[in-house]
Structure 1
Amino acid sequence: MCRQRLLPLLTLLALALFHQPLTAADYRYHVEVIVFEHLNMNSSESWPPEDERPRWDNAQRIFAGDSDSRFNPLSSGSYRMSGVYRTLRSAQAYRPLLHAAWIQDGLPASRARAVYLESDGGQVEGQLKLEQSRFLYVDLDLIYPFGDRDGRYARIKERRRLKLKELHYFDNPVFGAIVRVTRAGG
Protein backbone atom coordinates (compact mmCIF):
# COMPACT_ATOMS: atom_id res chain seq x y z
CA MET A 1 0.00 0.00 0.00
CA CYS A 2 1.11 3.46 -0.70
CA ARG A 3 2.16 5.61 2.27
CA GLN A 4 -0.38 8.25 1.28
CA ARG A 5 -3.21 5.73 1.71
CA LEU A 6 -1.77 3.95 4.72
CA LEU A 7 -1.47 7.00 7.00
CA PRO A 8 -5.17 8.00 6.87
CA LEU A 9 -6.19 4.37 7.35
CA LEU A 10 -3.95 3.98 10.41
CA THR A 11 -5.28 7.27 11.83
CA LEU A 12 -8.88 6.08 11.47
CA LEU A 13 -8.00 2.72 12.99
CA ALA A 14 -6.31 4.39 15.99
CA LEU A 15 -9.29 6.67 16.53
CA ALA A 16 -11.66 3.71 16.42
CA LEU A 17 -9.58 1.71 18.91
CA PHE A 18 -9.11 4.51 21.43
CA HIS A 19 -12.52 6.14 21.13
CA GLN A 20 -14.56 5.69 24.29
CA PRO A 21 -18.32 6.18 23.99
CA LEU A 22 -19.79 8.92 26.14
CA THR A 23 -21.21 7.75 29.40
CA ALA A 24 -23.87 9.46 31.49
CA ALA A 25 -21.13 10.86 33.74
CA ASP A 26 -19.72 12.76 30.75
CA TYR A 27 -22.79 14.99 30.83
CA ARG A 28 -23.03 17.91 33.23
CA TYR A 29 -26.30 19.69 33.88
CA HIS A 30 -27.41 23.04 35.26
CA VAL A 31 -30.35 22.23 37.54
CA GLU A 32 -32.54 25.04 38.85
CA VAL A 33 -35.64 24.98 41.04
CA ILE A 34 -38.05 27.61 42.30
CA VAL A 35 -40.62 26.74 44.98
CA PHE A 36 -43.51 29.08 45.73
CA GLU A 37 -46.63 29.29 47.85
CA HIS A 38 -50.13 29.82 46.43
CA LEU A 39 -51.39 32.78 48.49
CA ASN A 40 -55.02 32.35 47.40
CA MET A 41 -55.20 28.71 48.49
CA ASN A 42 -58.76 27.55 48.89
CA SER A 43 -58.44 23.83 49.46
CA SER A 44 -60.58 21.52 51.54
CA GLU A 45 -58.13 18.65 51.14
CA SER A 46 -56.90 16.88 54.26
CA TRP A 47 -53.18 16.61 54.90
CA PRO A 48 -51.19 14.07 56.91
CA PRO A 49 -50.01 14.96 60.43
CA GLU A 50 -46.39 15.99 60.87
CA ASP A 51 -45.34 12.73 62.57
CA GLU A 52 -45.61 11.02 59.16
CA ARG A 53 -43.19 13.51 57.69
CA PRO A 54 -40.66 12.03 55.23
CA ARG A 55 -36.90 12.05 55.88
CA TRP A 56 -34.15 12.84 53.43
CA ASP A 57 -31.09 11.70 55.38
CA ASN A 58 -29.34 10.34 52.28
CA ALA A 59 -29.71 13.51 50.21
CA GLN A 60 -26.57 15.55 49.55
CA ARG A 61 -26.59 18.89 51.41
CA ILE A 62 -24.76 20.95 48.79
CA PHE A 63 -25.90 24.32 50.13
CA ALA A 64 -24.50 23.59 53.61
CA GLY A 65 -20.92 23.30 52.39
CA ASP A 66 -20.51 19.51 52.61
CA SER A 67 -20.89 18.83 48.90
CA ASP A 68 -18.97 16.24 46.98
CA SER A 69 -17.39 16.97 43.61
CA ARG A 70 -20.46 15.80 41.65
CA PHE A 71 -22.41 18.87 42.80
CA ASN A 72 -21.46 22.52 42.47
CA PRO A 73 -23.90 24.98 44.04
CA LEU A 74 -24.25 28.20 42.05
CA SER A 75 -24.46 31.78 43.27
CA SER A 76 -27.58 33.77 42.42
CA GLY A 77 -25.66 35.57 39.66
CA SER A 78 -25.54 32.27 37.73
CA TYR A 79 -29.25 31.54 37.97
CA ARG A 80 -31.09 31.27 34.65
CA MET A 81 -34.66 31.60 35.96
CA SER A 82 -34.29 34.95 37.71
CA GLY A 83 -37.00 36.43 35.47
CA VAL A 84 -39.44 33.70 36.52
CA TYR A 85 -38.58 34.35 40.16
CA ARG A 86 -39.16 38.12 39.77
CA THR A 87 -42.51 37.47 38.08
CA LEU A 88 -43.65 35.22 40.93
CA ARG A 89 -42.43 37.72 43.53
CA SER A 90 -44.35 40.58 41.93
CA ALA A 91 -47.57 38.57 41.46
CA GLN A 92 -50.17 38.92 44.20
CA ALA A 93 -51.15 35.24 44.01
CA TYR A 94 -47.71 33.75 44.77
CA ARG A 95 -44.87 34.04 47.26
CA PRO A 96 -41.48 32.54 46.33
CA LEU A 97 -40.06 30.34 49.09
CA LEU A 98 -36.91 28.88 47.54
CA HIS A 99 -34.68 29.50 44.53
CA ALA A 100 -31.62 27.27 44.11
CA ALA A 101 -29.34 26.14 41.29
CA TRP A 102 -26.38 23.82 40.92
CA ILE A 103 -24.27 21.96 38.37
CA GLN A 104 -24.16 18.18 38.57
CA ASP A 105 -23.18 15.07 36.66
CA GLY A 106 -25.82 13.11 34.82
CA LEU A 107 -25.72 9.65 36.38
CA PRO A 108 -27.85 6.52 36.05
CA ALA A 109 -30.43 5.79 38.75
CA SER A 110 -28.11 3.32 40.50
CA ARG A 111 -25.51 6.07 41.08
CA ALA A 112 -27.61 9.24 41.14
CA ARG A 113 -27.90 11.06 44.43
CA ALA A 114 -30.57 13.51 45.54
CA VAL A 115 -29.86 17.11 46.50
CA TYR A 116 -31.37 18.25 49.79
CA LEU A 117 -33.38 21.47 49.51
CA GLU A 118 -34.45 23.75 52.33
CA SER A 119 -35.69 27.31 52.20
CA ASP A 120 -34.45 30.02 54.54
CA GLY A 121 -36.36 29.53 57.75
CA GLY A 122 -37.15 25.91 56.88
CA GLN A 123 -40.54 26.64 55.30
CA VAL A 124 -39.94 24.18 52.45
CA GLU A 125 -37.90 21.02 52.74
CA GLY A 126 -37.22 18.10 50.45
CA GLN A 127 -35.03 16.70 47.75
CA LEU A 128 -34.54 16.67 44.00
CA LYS A 129 -32.80 13.81 42.20
CA LEU A 130 -31.75 13.97 38.54
CA GLU A 131 -31.21 10.66 36.73
CA GLN A 132 -29.65 10.16 33.30
CA SER A 133 -30.51 7.09 31.29
CA ARG A 134 -31.76 7.11 27.74
CA PHE A 135 -33.82 10.08 28.93
CA LEU A 136 -33.49 12.53 31.81
CA TYR A 137 -35.74 12.04 34.84
CA VAL A 138 -36.33 14.10 37.93
CA ASP A 139 -37.62 12.83 41.26
CA LEU A 140 -39.01 15.71 43.29
CA ASP A 141 -40.15 15.28 46.88
CA LEU A 142 -41.02 18.46 48.80
CA ILE A 143 -43.12 19.30 51.83
CA TYR A 144 -44.49 22.64 52.95
CA PRO A 145 -45.93 23.00 56.46
CA PHE A 146 -48.90 25.35 56.52
CA GLY A 147 -51.74 26.33 58.80
CA ASP A 148 -51.40 27.56 62.34
CA ARG A 149 -48.71 25.11 63.44
CA ASP A 150 -51.24 22.32 63.61
CA GLY A 151 -48.93 19.72 62.10
CA ARG A 152 -50.37 19.82 58.59
CA TYR A 153 -48.17 19.94 55.55
CA ALA A 154 -48.64 19.73 51.82
CA ARG A 155 -46.44 17.46 49.72
CA ILE A 156 -45.30 17.26 46.12
CA LYS A 157 -43.87 13.84 45.30
CA GLU A 158 -43.46 13.10 41.62
CA ARG A 159 -41.12 11.42 39.15
CA ARG A 160 -41.13 12.91 35.68
CA ARG A 161 -39.27 12.61 32.40
CA LEU A 162 -37.66 15.93 31.50
CA LYS A 163 -36.92 17.75 28.31
CA LEU A 164 -33.87 19.98 28.41
CA LYS A 165 -34.41 23.74 28.48
CA GLU A 166 -38.14 23.45 29.26
CA LEU A 167 -39.88 24.71 32.38
CA HIS A 168 -41.46 21.84 34.28
CA TYR A 169 -44.24 22.79 36.68
CA PHE A 170 -45.10 20.62 39.70
CA ASP A 171 -48.41 21.55 41.30
CA ASN A 172 -50.16 21.22 44.62
CA PRO A 173 -53.12 23.31 45.88
CA VAL A 174 -50.88 24.83 48.58
CA PHE A 175 -47.57 25.32 46.77
CA GLY A 176 -45.79 24.65 43.50
CA ALA A 177 -42.34 24.14 42.03
CA ILE A 178 -40.74 24.98 38.71
CA VAL A 179 -37.72 22.96 37.58
CA ARG A 180 -35.52 23.63 34.57
CA VAL A 181 -32.53 21.54 33.47
CA THR A 182 -30.06 22.60 30.78
CA ARG A 183 -26.63 21.46 29.74
CA ALA A 184 -23.97 23.07 31.91
CA GLY A 185 -22.25 25.82 30.02
CA GLY A 186 -24.99 25.96 27.40
Structure 2
Amino acid sequence: MTKRYTYPLLAVFALLVATLPAAPGYAEEPGTASRVFEIELLVFQNLVVDDGGEIWPIDYSQWFEETGEEPAGTDTATDKIDWLPEKAWRLTAERNALGRSSRYRPVAYFAWRQAVLDRSRATPVSLSGDRDRRGRAYVDGAARVAVERYLHLYLDLQLHTPVADQSSELLELEIPEFRLSEHRRMRSGEIHYFDNPRFGVIALITPYEPPPQETAPVPPAPAQSPTTAVTPASSR
Protein backbone atom coordinates (compact mmCIF):
# COMPACT_ATOMS: atom_id res chain seq x y z
CA MET A 1 0.00 0.00 0.00
CA THR A 2 1.48 3.32 -1.07
CA LYS A 3 1.22 6.23 1.33
CA ARG A 4 2.74 9.67 1.20
CA TYR A 5 3.42 11.75 4.30
CA THR A 6 4.15 15.29 3.26
CA TYR A 7 4.43 16.60 6.82
CA PRO A 8 5.86 14.79 9.85
CA LEU A 9 2.63 15.31 11.80
CA LEU A 10 0.84 12.84 9.53
CA ALA A 11 3.31 10.05 10.18
CA VAL A 12 1.37 9.38 13.39
CA PHE A 13 -1.42 7.95 11.29
CA ALA A 14 0.77 5.37 9.59
CA LEU A 15 0.01 2.99 12.43
CA LEU A 16 -3.71 3.67 12.16
CA VAL A 17 -4.02 2.58 8.55
CA ALA A 18 -1.24 0.03 8.22
CA THR A 19 -3.65 -2.85 8.59
CA LEU A 20 -6.18 -1.57 6.07
CA PRO A 21 -6.39 -4.13 3.24
CA ALA A 22 -5.39 -2.74 -0.11
CA ALA A 23 -7.48 -3.54 -3.13
CA PRO A 24 -5.74 -3.87 -6.50
CA GLY A 25 -4.95 -0.48 -8.01
CA TYR A 26 -7.24 0.51 -10.83
CA ALA A 27 -5.95 1.65 -14.18
CA GLU A 28 -8.05 2.32 -17.24
CA GLU A 29 -7.08 3.00 -20.80
CA PRO A 30 -8.31 6.29 -22.28
CA GLY A 31 -11.56 6.13 -24.17
CA THR A 32 -13.08 3.21 -22.29
CA ALA A 33 -16.44 3.36 -20.56
CA SER A 34 -16.82 5.05 -17.20
CA ARG A 35 -17.00 3.06 -13.98
CA VAL A 36 -18.68 3.71 -10.67
CA PHE A 37 -16.55 4.43 -7.61
CA GLU A 38 -17.13 5.28 -3.97
CA ILE A 39 -15.16 8.32 -2.81
CA GLU A 40 -14.49 9.03 0.88
CA LEU A 41 -12.84 12.15 2.30
CA LEU A 42 -12.06 12.48 6.00
CA VAL A 43 -11.14 16.10 6.76
CA PHE A 44 -9.31 16.86 9.99
CA GLN A 45 -7.83 19.92 11.66
CA ASN A 46 -4.36 20.12 13.18
CA LEU A 47 -4.79 21.64 16.65
CA VAL A 48 -1.07 21.85 17.47
CA VAL A 49 0.64 23.75 14.69
CA ASP A 50 4.41 23.96 14.95
CA ASP A 51 5.18 26.76 12.53
CA GLY A 52 8.52 27.58 14.13
CA GLY A 53 7.38 31.15 14.60
CA GLU A 54 6.56 31.51 10.91
CA ILE A 55 3.37 33.37 10.01
CA TRP A 56 1.36 31.72 7.25
CA PRO A 57 -0.20 34.51 5.17
CA ILE A 58 -3.72 34.15 3.89
CA ASP A 59 -3.84 34.65 0.13
CA TYR A 60 -7.37 35.91 -0.35
CA SER A 61 -6.77 36.59 -4.03
CA GLN A 62 -6.75 32.87 -4.83
CA TRP A 63 -10.17 32.47 -3.26
CA PHE A 64 -11.74 34.71 -5.88
CA GLU A 65 -9.88 33.26 -8.87
CA GLU A 66 -10.46 30.20 -11.01
CA THR A 67 -8.16 27.34 -10.08
CA GLY A 68 -7.52 26.30 -13.66
CA GLU A 69 -8.17 22.68 -12.72
CA GLU A 70 -11.93 22.57 -13.23
CA PRO A 71 -13.62 22.07 -16.59
CA ALA A 72 -15.46 24.85 -18.34
CA GLY A 73 -18.81 25.78 -16.84
CA THR A 74 -20.03 26.03 -13.29
CA ASP A 75 -22.25 22.96 -13.09
CA THR A 76 -21.51 20.57 -10.29
CA ALA A 77 -22.20 16.86 -10.11
CA THR A 78 -23.92 17.02 -6.73
CA ASP A 79 -27.24 15.99 -8.27
CA LYS A 80 -25.62 13.02 -10.03
CA ILE A 81 -24.19 11.27 -6.99
CA ASP A 82 -25.43 9.06 -4.19
CA TRP A 83 -24.34 10.00 -0.68
CA LEU A 84 -23.27 6.98 1.35
CA PRO A 85 -24.82 6.25 4.75
CA GLU A 86 -22.53 6.19 7.77
CA LYS A 87 -22.74 2.41 8.03
CA ALA A 88 -21.00 2.18 4.63
CA TRP A 89 -18.02 4.35 5.60
CA ARG A 90 -14.62 2.65 5.50
CA LEU A 91 -12.58 5.23 7.45
CA THR A 92 -14.51 5.18 10.72
CA ALA A 93 -11.54 3.72 12.62
CA GLU A 94 -9.38 6.62 11.47
CA ARG A 95 -12.12 9.11 12.32
CA ASN A 96 -12.50 7.67 15.81
CA ALA A 97 -8.74 7.74 16.35
CA LEU A 98 -8.65 11.40 15.34
CA GLY A 99 -11.47 12.12 17.75
CA ARG A 100 -9.47 10.62 20.62
CA SER A 101 -6.34 12.56 19.75
CA SER A 102 -5.33 15.77 21.48
CA ARG A 103 -3.52 16.98 18.36
CA TYR A 104 -6.18 16.52 15.71
CA ARG A 105 -9.91 16.94 15.35
CA PRO A 106 -12.16 15.45 12.65
CA VAL A 107 -13.99 18.28 10.91
CA ALA A 108 -16.05 16.56 8.20
CA TYR A 109 -16.62 13.23 6.50
CA PHE A 110 -17.82 13.22 2.91
CA ALA A 111 -18.68 9.91 1.22
CA TRP A 112 -20.50 9.41 -2.06
CA ARG A 113 -20.85 7.13 -5.08
CA GLN A 114 -20.58 8.35 -8.66
CA ALA A 115 -19.73 7.39 -12.20
CA VAL A 116 -16.19 8.60 -12.93
CA LEU A 117 -15.59 10.14 -16.34
CA ASP A 118 -12.54 11.38 -18.19
CA ARG A 119 -11.11 14.76 -17.29
CA SER A 120 -12.81 16.58 -20.15
CA ARG A 121 -16.25 15.54 -18.84
CA ALA A 122 -15.72 15.27 -15.08
CA THR A 123 -17.53 17.90 -13.03
CA PRO A 124 -16.79 18.93 -9.43
CA VAL A 125 -18.87 17.77 -6.49
CA SER A 126 -19.83 20.58 -4.12
CA LEU A 127 -18.94 19.86 -0.48
CA SER A 128 -20.35 21.81 2.44
CA GLY A 129 -19.67 21.18 6.10
CA ASP A 130 -21.79 22.02 9.12
CA ARG A 131 -21.67 25.79 9.58
CA ASP A 132 -24.08 25.77 12.51
CA ARG A 133 -21.63 24.34 15.04
CA ARG A 134 -20.79 27.43 17.06
CA GLY A 135 -17.17 27.69 18.09
CA ARG A 136 -16.10 24.80 15.84
CA ALA A 137 -14.27 24.78 12.55
CA TYR A 138 -16.01 23.74 9.36
CA VAL A 139 -14.90 23.07 5.80
CA ASP A 140 -16.40 23.60 2.37
CA GLY A 141 -15.27 23.52 -1.23
CA ALA A 142 -15.31 21.03 -4.08
CA ALA A 143 -13.84 17.71 -5.19
CA ARG A 144 -13.47 16.37 -8.70
CA VAL A 145 -12.66 12.79 -9.64
CA ALA A 146 -11.55 11.91 -13.16
CA VAL A 147 -9.94 8.98 -14.93
CA GLU A 148 -7.49 8.73 -17.76
CA ARG A 149 -5.08 5.85 -17.37
CA TYR A 150 -5.27 6.33 -13.60
CA LEU A 151 -7.74 7.92 -11.24
CA HIS A 152 -7.18 11.59 -10.43
CA LEU A 153 -8.56 13.48 -7.45
CA TYR A 154 -8.69 17.28 -7.41
CA LEU A 155 -9.45 18.98 -4.10
CA ASP A 156 -10.16 22.64 -3.45
CA LEU A 157 -11.20 23.02 0.19
CA GLN A 158 -11.33 25.91 2.63
CA LEU A 159 -11.10 25.52 6.40
CA HIS A 160 -13.02 28.13 8.39
CA THR A 161 -11.97 28.45 12.02
CA PRO A 162 -13.79 30.45 14.71
CA VAL A 163 -12.27 33.80 15.59
CA ALA A 164 -13.22 35.51 18.84
CA ASP A 165 -14.35 39.14 18.99
CA GLN A 166 -14.99 39.51 15.28
CA SER A 167 -17.25 42.35 14.25
CA SER A 168 -20.56 41.49 12.62
CA GLU A 169 -19.28 42.92 9.32
CA LEU A 170 -16.35 40.50 9.29
CA LEU A 171 -18.56 37.58 10.23
CA GLU A 172 -20.82 38.30 7.27
CA LEU A 173 -17.88 38.18 4.86
CA GLU A 174 -17.02 34.59 5.84
CA ILE A 175 -13.62 34.84 4.17
CA PRO A 176 -11.87 31.44 4.30
CA GLU A 177 -8.79 31.32 6.45
CA PHE A 178 -6.89 28.32 5.13
CA ARG A 179 -7.07 26.71 1.72
CA LEU A 180 -5.99 23.32 0.41
CA SER A 181 -5.91 23.08 -3.38
CA GLU A 182 -4.16 19.96 -4.65
CA HIS A 183 -4.31 17.30 -7.33
CA ARG A 184 -3.16 13.74 -6.76
CA ARG A 185 -3.01 10.65 -8.93
CA MET A 186 -4.85 7.93 -7.07
CA ARG A 187 -4.96 4.16 -6.97
CA SER A 188 -8.20 2.60 -5.88
CA GLY A 189 -8.21 0.86 -2.53
CA GLU A 190 -5.20 2.85 -1.30
CA ILE A 191 -5.24 5.61 1.29
CA HIS A 192 -3.83 8.95 0.17
CA TYR A 193 -3.15 12.16 2.10
CA PHE A 194 -3.71 15.78 1.14
CA ASP A 195 -2.42 18.17 3.75
CA ASN A 196 -0.98 21.49 4.77
CA PRO A 197 0.19 22.56 8.25
CA ARG A 198 -3.34 23.56 9.32
CA PHE A 199 -5.60 20.77 8.10
CA GLY A 200 -5.55 17.66 5.97
CA VAL A 201 -7.64 15.07 4.16
CA ILE A 202 -7.49 11.29 4.24
CA ALA A 203 -8.85 10.08 0.89
CA LEU A 204 -9.95 6.64 -0.27
CA ILE A 205 -11.49 5.65 -3.62
CA THR A 206 -12.98 2.18 -3.99
CA PRO A 207 -14.52 0.52 -7.06
CA TYR A 208 -18.22 -0.08 -6.58
CA GLU A 209 -19.46 -3.57 -7.18
CA PRO A 210 -23.25 -3.73 -7.19
CA PRO A 211 -24.72 -6.58 -5.17
CA PRO A 212 -25.86 -9.55 -7.22
CA GLN A 213 -29.49 -9.45 -8.10
CA GLU A 214 -31.57 -12.03 -6.36
CA THR A 215 -33.60 -14.20 -8.67
CA ALA A 216 -37.02 -15.35 -7.60
CA PRO A 217 -37.10 -19.06 -6.85
CA VAL A 218 -38.77 -21.14 -9.50
CA PRO A 219 -41.73 -23.00 -8.00
CA PRO A 220 -41.58 -26.76 -8.47
CA ALA A 221 -43.73 -28.23 -11.19
CA PRO A 222 -46.98 -29.70 -9.89
CA ALA A 223 -46.82 -33.42 -9.33
CA GLN A 224 -48.63 -35.43 -11.94
CA SER A 225 -51.07 -38.09 -10.75
CA PRO A 226 -50.22 -41.58 -12.01
CA THR A 227 -52.30 -42.68 -14.97
CA THR A 228 -54.18 -45.96 -14.76
CA ALA A 229 -53.91 -48.08 -17.82
CA VAL A 230 -57.28 -49.23 -19.10
CA THR A 231 -57.34 -52.68 -20.72
CA PRO A 232 -59.97 -52.91 -23.38
CA ALA A 233 -62.44 -55.70 -22.85
CA SER A 234 -61.87 -58.69 -25.08
CA SER A 235 -64.67 -59.63 -27.41
CA ARG A 236 -65.89 -63.18 -27.38
TM-score w.r.t. the length of structure 2 is 0.60
Q: Report the structure, 1 or 2, having the larger helix content.
A: 1
Aligned to 2:75: 58
User: What pairs up with 1:1-186 in 2 under 5 angstroms?
Assistant: 23-25=32-34, 27-43=35-51, 44-49=55-60, 53-54=63-64, 58-60=75-77, 62=78, 67-68=79-80, 71-121=81-131, 123-146=138-161, 148=163, 151=175, 153-185=177-209
Displacement, 1:121?
1.3
- 1:147 and 1:75 map into 2 onto residues whose CA distance is 28
Q: Deviations over 1:78-114 (max 9, x none)?
A: 1111111111111111111110111111200111111
Displacement, 1:159?
0.9
Q: Is the Cα contact below 8 Å between 1:24 and 1:132 reproduced in 2? A: no
Which secondary structure state, in structure 2, belongs to the residue aligned with residue 126 of structure 1?
strand
Q: What is the CA RMSD across the aligned residues, in angstroms?
A: 2.3
Count the aligned residue pairs. 156
Q: Which moved more, 1:115-124 or 1:166-175?
A: 115-124
Structure 2, gaps ≥5 residues long: 1-30, 67-73, 133-137, 211-236
Kindly provide the amino acid, as one letter, of the partner of residue 143 in structure 1: Q
Displacement, 1:129?
0.5
Structure 1, gaps ≥5 residues long: 1-21
Q: Which has the larger radius of gyration?
A: 2
Q: Which moved more, 1:87-96 or 1:143-152?
A: 143-152
Q: Report the structure, 1 or 2, having the larger strand content.
A: 1
Which secondary structure state, in structure 2, belongs to the residue aligned with residue 142 of structure 1?
strand
TM-score w.r.t. the length of structure 1 is 0.75
